[in-house]
Amino acid sequence: MRKVYLDYAATSPVDEEVLNEMMKFFNIDFGNPSSLHLWGQKALIGLDSARIKFKELLNAKELKEIIFTSSATESNNFIIKGLVFVWLFKKRKKPHIISTTIEHESIEQTLEELKNLDLIELDLVSPNKDGFIDPKNIENYIKENTLLVSVIYVQNVIGTIQPIKEIAQRLKEINKERKEKGLNEIYFHTDAAQAGLTENLNIQELGVDFLTLSSHKIYGPKGAALVYKRADIEILPLLSGPGQEFGLRSSTENVPAIYGFAKAFEKFYPKRKENNSYLFELKNYFLNEIKKIYPKVQVNGALENSCPKILNLYFPDYLSQEILIKLDLEGIGVSISSACSVRASKPDKIILALGHSQERAQKSIRFSFGLKTTFEELSYVIETLKKIIS
């Protein structure tokens, strides 16, 4: 049976060149990078080279601003909880956090837990019907005790690209006013897990204080991610121990995965213009062909200012699970939600956050494309869909 994978927003395969580069750290230079002998020092060289590469490509100012973790979920927890715990220790009162209703579960549920424990005040900004967050709406929620604003860069279910640079610039201006009043600085974090293949991640141009990046979304291995943290911001570690990662993330570093992560980012991030161009062609072709066989189909979220690898479609006459199962039986992999929540079998919260009905959420499917996706594969998917919906 032919197999076509269209769930690249969930994860991507490890690039063969990246995999080959990683292998020596499994069985040749396999030492613990904290060890002082030859094996450890060779592993440390691999770890350091990865950190240097990320510093250069992200345009960070210092090496210690790059902190390796095991996943984007850990990174998001580390940033939010680390900031909150330092604030609580110093201020002895609850901080206020602003986020959105279209965040990844690792942001949404972390904030909800902290709120339920009565450790923070929380406000969530809703997007417009096209899936975009208006920076002015964020400003409306700012309080004297606002500590953090966290906004996803590329929405993982509908693909909308949020105005991160614009939000950062406005917060910079607000922070100048707050400083004159003796108020704390408001920090800005973006979850950029889906952005590595197609978007600008230059820290100085974006103006963010924290950024999350994931390996397995950009043809690197699972088990590696990072946090960019502005050097002068104090944060409490989630994991305490021997003090790896500048004392901020104790645990023996996963050198093979981190090295592979850096190699994947080095290979694919500089080609984001080419990546965008090819993925846009795939996305437009696929959407136009589906409209021919099923004119009722509708796009969830906007097509403009959206990531070209993600296309979320509403099929008014069909339950998404029904289509997903039939596609799977024909060797085609798609998704009905974020991979982190799909097993819950409930309407996707992102579709609901756009103001759509539960019925629409239950009849929507996410197709996500990769750099090895071909037009021939998409033609096969179209022909299969044609059989299903007829």
- Catalytic amino acids? 340
| Phi, psi angles (nearest 5°) of residue 143 | -120, 175
Q: What CA–CA distance (Å, rounded) separates 175 from 45?
A: 39
Contact between residue 201 and residue 60 where contact means Cβ atoms under 8 Å apart: no
- The amino acid occupying position 327 is L
Q: What CA–CA distance (Å, rounded) separates 318 from 179?
A: 54
Q: What CA–CA distance (Å, rounded) separates 220 from 178?
A: 41
Q: What CA–CA distance (Å, rounded) separates 46 from 65?
A: 18
- The amino acid occupying position 22 is M
If 0-12 CB within 10 Å is exposed, 13-18 middle and 19+ buried, where does residue 45 land? Answer: middle
Contact between residue 350 and residue 155 where contact means Cβ atoms under 8 Å apart: yes
Q: What CA–CA distance (Å, rounded) separates 232 from 236?
A: 13
Q: What CA–CA distance (Å, rounded) separates 168 from 201?
A: 13
CA angle 309, 315, 321 (to 5 degrees): 85
Across the chain, which distance is largest between two alpha carbons, in Å?
A: 67
For the beta sheet containing 146-150, the strands, ordered from the edge strand earlier in sequence to the opposite edge, are: 66-69, 225-229, 210-214, 187-191, 146-150, 96-100, 121-125
Residue with tokens 């305490």: 240
Closest by Cα among 388, 352, 370 to 157 = 352
Q: What is the chain's percent helix, strand, coil content, to nearest 5? A: 45, 15, 40
Contact between residue 130 and residue 81 where contact means Cβ atoms under 8 Å apart: no
